[in-house]
Amino acid sequence: MKAPLKRSNAPIFWALFGAGGMLSALLGPMLVFITGLAVPLGLLLPADTMSYPKMLAFAQNFIGKGFIFAIIALFLWHAAHRIFHSLHDIGIHAGTGAKLLCYGSAMLGTLIAAYALLAIGF
Amino acid sequence: MSKRRPYVRSMDGWWRKNPFFVEYMIHEGTALFVAAYAGVLLAGLFRLSQGEAAWNAWLAALTNPWYIAFHLAALLALSYHTYTWFKIMPRTMPPVVVGGERLPGWVITAGGLAVAAAACLGLLALVWGMAR
């Protein structure tokens, strides 16, 4: 009897790549504009848009927590997958080590985000 | 050991020889900015969990010209990612059939870009509404 086919884990990584790619395509440019340019430079938005009390309240809210977690984790998984698959194109053999490094950093970032969001409390 | 030393063509800079692959490398390269931006947000989230002083220090660091320059580059990279994401979408998703006809690629691309524009404006309006 033949051994059953080994199930591939590729669909999981591909789904995370797709979800992160979609989320960053839809909201990425505006998020970068808001957090990286508008707020630091005082453009367009009120000066206290990202003040401590406001951001704390946002991160303590269930929806806010979920949003922050989804953005950070999915962006990381999207980038990790894309960078991993581009290694071959720039002449780096993408073996197990590279896979562990790429997906491992995404996993580490996801865990740090989860830890911080739990530490912030509800 | 074999004595044969067959000629192996060098692959150095292969993608620079064809504009199609140059574009491919640029749109794959946007992932570096996605990762770096996620790193900036992750640092901010971690600082937020450490309290008000830590958060304010992170917020102040963002006004550094290097950060501003990074975010300008990231804005370009992520906008380009949005554009290529939906440009490629007709080829990455299963065919959509409407009324017996396959939906043309440009409709999917244009639809995706319109949704992205609406999502961005919606996000800005939401943040503006919550902040005031």
Nearest-by-Cβ selection for A29 from B38, B48, B82: B82
Tokens of residue B58, six digits: 């992170």
Fold of B15-131: 3 helical TM bundles of succinate and fumarate reductases (1.20.1300)
Tell me the C-alpha distance between A76 and A110, whole Å.
Answer: 8
Express each pLDDT in B93-128 by its tens digit. 888 888 889 999 999 999 999 999 999 999 999 999
Give domain A15-120's CATH number out of 1.20.1300.10, 1.10.3720.10, 3.40.50.300, 3.40.50.1000.
Answer: 1.20.1300.10
Q: Hey, where are the domains in chain B?
A: 15-131
Nearest-by-Cβ selection for B74 from A36, A49, A113: A36
Tell me the C-alpha distance between B132 and A51, whole Å.
Answer: 12
Residues A37, B75 contacting (CB under 8 angstroms) = yes
Q: Hey, where are the domains in chain A?
A: 15-120
* A contacts of B29 (beta carbons < 8 Å): 86
Q: Find the closest chain A residue to B15 by CA distance.
A: A89
Q: Which residues pair with A78 in a beta bridge?
A: none
Tell me the C-alpha distance between A9 and B54, whole Å.
Answer: 39
Express each pLDDT in A61-119 by its tens digit. 999 999 999 999 999 999 999 999 999 888 888 889 999 999 999 999 999 999 999 99
In degrees and rounded to multiples of 5, residue B105 shows phi and psi of -55, -40
Task: List, as one string, the DSSP characters of A73-94.
Answer: HHHHHHHHHHHHHHTGGGT---
